[in-house]
Structure formats: C-alpha cells, structure tokens
Structure 1
Amino acid sequence: MDPNNNKNYQIAYSDPAVSFLTENKNSITMDVLQKNCPDSAAIKIFQELNPTLIVPLLQKNHLSGILFLGERFYFDAETGIDYTEYEKNLVLSIGSLAAIAINNATLIERSSTDMMTQLKLKYFFFNVLTEKLDNAMSEKKPLSVIMFDIDFFKHFNDTYGHECGDYVLKQVAFLIKQNLREEDLASRYGGEEFTVLLNETTKDAAIAVAERIRSCIENHDFVFNNQHMHVTISCGVAVFDHESNPVTIAKQLVNQADQGLYMSKHNGRNRVTYAPPSLVSLDDEESK
C-alpha cells in the first residue's frame, strides 16, 4: 500500500461504504466491501490503496476514520486465509482504541479553538507562550509577540450588521494565518483583537511580519453583500531578549505588545509599533 501524499482520499459521509462499515462494525476485506456496496464511489479510492483488511474506527456508533492494512508478511498458503477471525477481532480492538484517541484529540482541538475564526483561543495561546518563553529563557533565544486590533470595528457592525462583523473577523483571521509560518501560533485574543506568537524571531523579523500582515489586510478587497469595505488593523510588537528584555512571565510580554498596539491607535491607527521594554515595568507586572 503506497498512498499518494498529494492526493485527497476524503470520502463523503453519505457514501454507502461509510454506512456499511458503521453498521457492520467488523473488519472486512475488499471483496466483502465491493459485494455489499457496488454503488460506492469510495470503492475506487479503496482499490488504489490495495488493502488486505479494512478496519472501521468507531466511537459511539460514529465512524471517525478507516484503518487500511497493507500486504501482510505472513500468509497461510494451505488455507488461503489472510487473517483469522481472532486476528480480525484483535485488529478491530486496536481500531477501537485508535477511534477513542481520535475522538479525544478532536475534543481537545474543539475546546481550544475559536469556532468562528478557527484560530486558537486566548487560554491556549498563553499556555503555549509560557512554554515557549521558558525555552527561550533557557536557550537565550528571541521570542516575539504581535497584538492586532481591527480599526473601527464597531463601524462594520453598526453599518452593515453583526453578520458583516463576523465576516470581517473571519477574513482578518484567515489573512493573519496565511502570512505566518506553520510553526507560528495565532489566536483570537478576544473581540476584534488577535495575538501571534513568533518563536525564535528577532525584533526586525517580527516587525516585518506584522507589517506584512497589516499591509495585506489594508490592500485586501473585503466584499460583503456586494459592499466593498476598507479594513485596516493596528499592531503592537514585543520581543523577549535575555539581555535587553528578560521578561519571565508570558503576560508581561503580551502587555508590552498591548502597549505598542495602544501607541499605534494613539498615533493614527493602521500602523505597526514596536514596544520598548520600558513601556511596562517588570517589577510592576510581577507584583500584580
């Protein structure tokens, strides 16, 4: 079995094969699936994978995935049987454990993700930032935080309705994430505010990222119900440095970025401002 990493093997949940695997609740061969689901569009996909056994991953009668077993190393030539009933049941039990693991991972993902923007939630952002900040301190490497706020966001809700406001939030979130590396982390901090964590990123690089995102949003054509809207964001950048800004608490770094954001708002909006460490007293923050 040699899957093509560039190919989408997604199967429609309405496909007959999905219903059969869900109701049958057993490990089956390709022949059995073809016999019972002759009209299934998924058959062609399964055939490309050439499985010797197909195992449904079931969690509370819900099919969360399908496990395909490739060519097995041992084959009983006398009986012509690839898998005994015991082996099929054993694989099915392993599949049940895998289904539970997938379900638990899905629940964790949902609980840490903002459903509207599909970005991480504030608490998840702080958990990751705390961990990355500890690593940055021990390894003496830079770490940057950017805070964004949509300018005059209330105007979109008041003028075009809350559905328009939701559209703007989703589009801004998409554009932010589109301009980040895979290892970066973006979150919806609250309301129309967003935060970004840039691991091992210096001041100049972080400012460049923030400026790229700001410019991208400013030049993006936001269209809602045939209305073209001009959207801008204000940004604040803060950078951990073991010599010039040795913050020890994640909230300190976010507060510095927030102060930079405030300066951007105060100086006309639609701009990026680096927040010098002196903007927030480390002693004051630690005493809160």
Structure 2
Amino acid sequence: MEHDSLREYSALADSGLLGQLQEFQAKAHNYEELISQSLELFTKTSEMDLVGYLASCLVQRFIPSYLAVFLRDESDADNVSSICFQNLRPARCPIALDTIDPFRDFFDTQSGTTSFTELMQKRPEIAGPLQPLNPDLVIPLNGLNGLYGIVILGRKVLDDDYTSDELTYIEMLFEFASIGLQNVIHYTSSVTDFKTRLYNHSYFVRRLQEEMNRVGRHHHAFALLAIDIDHFKLLNDRYGHLAGDRALFQLSRMIESAVRQEDIVSRYGGEEFLVLLTQCSKQAALDVAERMRRSIADTSFTYQDKELSVTVSIGVTHCSFPPDTSGKQLIAEADQALYRAKHNGRNRCEFFNAGLLVMANRLLSITYR
C-alpha cells in the first residue's frame, strides 16, 4: 500500500500536477489569511490602530522602506493628516501634503494601484514631492464620495521589486483597508464635535458610565473636570466669532496636551469642556487642573496678526469605590465647583464638596460667562 502511494505521489510530481496542487493550496491559505486580516481591520476604531495593523500584516511578507497614509479631513477639506511608518515602525512623516485633489484627478483616469514611475511620468508635479518617501507604489483610498486618501509604499528594504503575488496581495489588502478606514472616519465623525475635534457630549456620557462601572468592579477611582473660558462673550464681541472659534480650537489642543492619552476630553457645550481623568486620586486631579489652568493663562494664540489669550475656571470632583452617585450627578458636582471658581474671581480651580450645594444653587441662577 505504501509502495503504491509513493508511486502515485511520484507520478503526480512528474506530471506537474503536484506542483499545481501545492500552488493552489498556498493560494487558498493566503486568501484565508487575507479574509482573517480584513475581518480584523473592520474592528479598528482609530486611524492609527488600523494603519498599525496594516504594518503588522505587511511585515509577515516584506518590509517596505515607508508606509505613509494621507487622509483628507472630512470636516476640513483643506487639511490632510498623515500616518507614517519607516521600516514598519512609527515615524515622523518627512513630507506634508496640503491637498489630495491632484491625486483625485489622476485616479479618475487611472484605476487602482499605480507605480511611482508611472505617476512621475504622467504627473511629475505631484509625484516629485513624494520622493523623500522612497516611493514605489501609490495606492488610492476610495470611499462613497470618491478619493479620500492615498497610501505610499516605499521600495522594499531589501531593494528588490514587488513580486506579482505581493502586488495582488497589496491590491486586495488595501481595498479592504479603504473600507475599514472609511468606517473609522465615519465613526470618528459620529463621536466628535465638529468645531473643536474633541469628543462630543453623548460619547463622553457613555464613557463616563463605563468608568463608573469599572470603579464598581475594580475599586478604581477617577476625577471629573469642568472647564469654562472666562469672559468668552467679551472675546467674541471684541474680535468676532471667528476669533472665538479659534480660541475654542486652540484651547482644546492645550487641554488635550495636559492630560494622558487614556483620559477623555469633550466639549460640553458653548465654551465649556469636560475631562474624565481615569484612575486618578483627588490630589492628582487638582494638580492636573492647576497645571492646566496655569499653562492656558501663560499661552497666547495668533488671530489675524493679533496675540490673544484667555483664562479658564475649573471645577473638580472625584469618584471612588463604592460609586454612590450617577454620571449626571457627577457632572452637576463638577459644574457647581466650576461656578464657585467663577464666583471667587475666575482663573482658578475649585474642588467640589457637599458644603457647596447651597452656594451652588444660589450661583446657578447667575450667568458668569
């Protein structure tokens, strides 16, 4: 029996059928792997996570000198963000693109992935600035409204050409990635405030409830900051609403830079913001609030050649085990502490305590903004 099997195996090998079967088996495995990777792509909820996962997929097959993704901002068509990996490690992108519109014009007449050489021949004015990325392939990212981004793959680190199988894999992987990134962009848009690009209030409330549940399960603690710009109406009246919008945007970036990545910053409404500081003690929360207040007071921003600055008042409250309150009540507590800071002269931080209730109820009927 074993001898017959060996003879059949040898006959298959001699006829070339064995090689074809093995090739089909390898391709089937590759397609299964690609399907698995595409399903994983669709679970990502941030652009950075998705591009990072793409890098981990590519490294299993080859290492491009650069993987650079350029995405048009859905809320600001004049802004193009970039995510860059050099040798499949996160890196600062050596170039910036002001717009992807010229690439849209090019890919209107060119279907799918194109070589950098071809792009250079047909559109040298848009290909030239890409050269610091050592580009080999230019891949369009298409969504429901057309091109919303491009991917640049640099030459392979070993400097050999991409094989036909690798090119097929790249084409298919980035078709899935294009859908995944579009989903991420739509998700981000649904949880983000348009004007400040911070999380919106509905998302913040959901994350606050999750954090309260975590406190109940794991005996963690967290803090809440309510932040309001002092005399914001005067800024709007004196310099106009565009100056006010600029102040909101700049302040949002300063608040983000003052907290950790795992903390949640949101726009509460108007000129007020909420910050969720996860796993945070009372003293640490006060330290963060005071550091943030001083940083904002010491920083100016430019609007139409004018140097403008603002100050903020901050209310702080804390939640620890057991959580004997609601998310709505915690926000009210932080807001009451904020109003006390306003009442006591603005540009200061105040911590909520039960003794504030009577004072807060009286102050809530007065507008301090």
Fold in common (TM above 0.5): yes
Q: Unaligned regions of 5+ residues in structure 1, if any? A: 281-288
| Corresponding residue number in structure 2 for 1:286 | none
Are the structure 2 counterparts of residues 44 and 64 from structure 1 closer, same or farther at C-alpha, using a change threshold of 3 Å? same
**Contact 2:263/2:276 (8 A) holds in 1:** yes
- Please tell me whether residue 114 in structure 1 is matched to residue 193 in structure 2: yes
Unaligned ranges ≥5, structure 2: 1-63, 67-85, 358-369
Instruction: Classify the secondary structure of the residue corresponding to 1:124.
Output: helix
* TM-score (ref. length: structure 1): 0.78
Q: Partner residue of 1:62?
A: 147
Query: 1:96 offset after TM fit, Å?
Result: 2.5
Is 1:260 aligned to 2:349, yes or no? Answer: no
1:189 aligns with 2:268: yes
> 1:55 Cα deviation (Å)?
3.5
Match of 1:2 in 2: 65
Match of 1:273 among 339, 344, 350: 350
Stretch deviating more after TM superposition (96-105 or 140-149): 96-105
How do 1:1-288 and structure 2 match up within 5 A? 1-3=64-66, 4=86, 5-11=91-97, 13=99, 19-39=105-125, 40-46=127-133, 48-49=134-135, 51=136, 54-60=138-144, 61-66=146-151, 68=153, 82-83=163-164, 91-222=170-301, 224-225=303-304, 229=308, 231-243=310-322, 246-276=323-353
CA distance in 1 between counterparts of 2:243 and 2:289 reads: 24
- 1:76-120 C-alpha deviation (Å, 9 max, x unpaired): xxxx99216xx8566534422221221121122123222222222
Residues 17 and 142 (structure 1), Cα distance of their counterparts in 2 relative to 1, 3 Å cut: same
CA contact under 8 A between 2:289 and 2:349: conserved in structure 1? yes
Structure exhibiting the larger radius of gyration computed from Cα positions: 2
State the SS of the aligned residue for 1:66.
strand
The letter for the 2-side match of 1:59 is G
Q: In the superposition, relative to structure 1, how do residues 158 and 9 fare at CA in structure 2: closer, same or farther (>3 Å)? A: closer
Distance 1:14 1:233, change over 3 A: closer
- DSSP 3-state at the match of 1:44: helix
Shift of 1:199: 0.7
How far apart, in 2, do the equivalents of 1:226 and 1:44 lie? 35
CA-to-aligned-CA distance 1:245-280 (integer Å, 9 cap, x gap): x24532222111111112112222221111125657
Equivalent residue pairs, number: 268
How far off its partner does 1:237 sit? 0.4
Amino acid at match of 1:2: S
Secondary structure (helix, strand or coil) at the match of 1:41 reads helix
**Which residue type is aligned with residue 181 of structure 1?**
R
Q: Determine the C-alpha separation between the residues in 2 that align with 1:24 and 1:196.
A: 46
Distance 1:9 1:158, change over 3 A: closer
Asked whether the 8 Å contact 2:104–2:147 carries over to 1, the reply is no
Contact 1:186 1:196 in 2 (8 A): yes
TM-score (norm 2): 0.63
Shift of 1:38: 4.2
Deviation at 1:30, TM superposition (A): 4.4
Relative distance call for 1:266 and 1:205 in structure 2 (3 A) is same
| 1:276 aligned partner, one-letter code | N
Per-residue CA deviation, residues 148-171 of structure 1 (Å, 9 max, x unaligned), is 111222222223332332233223
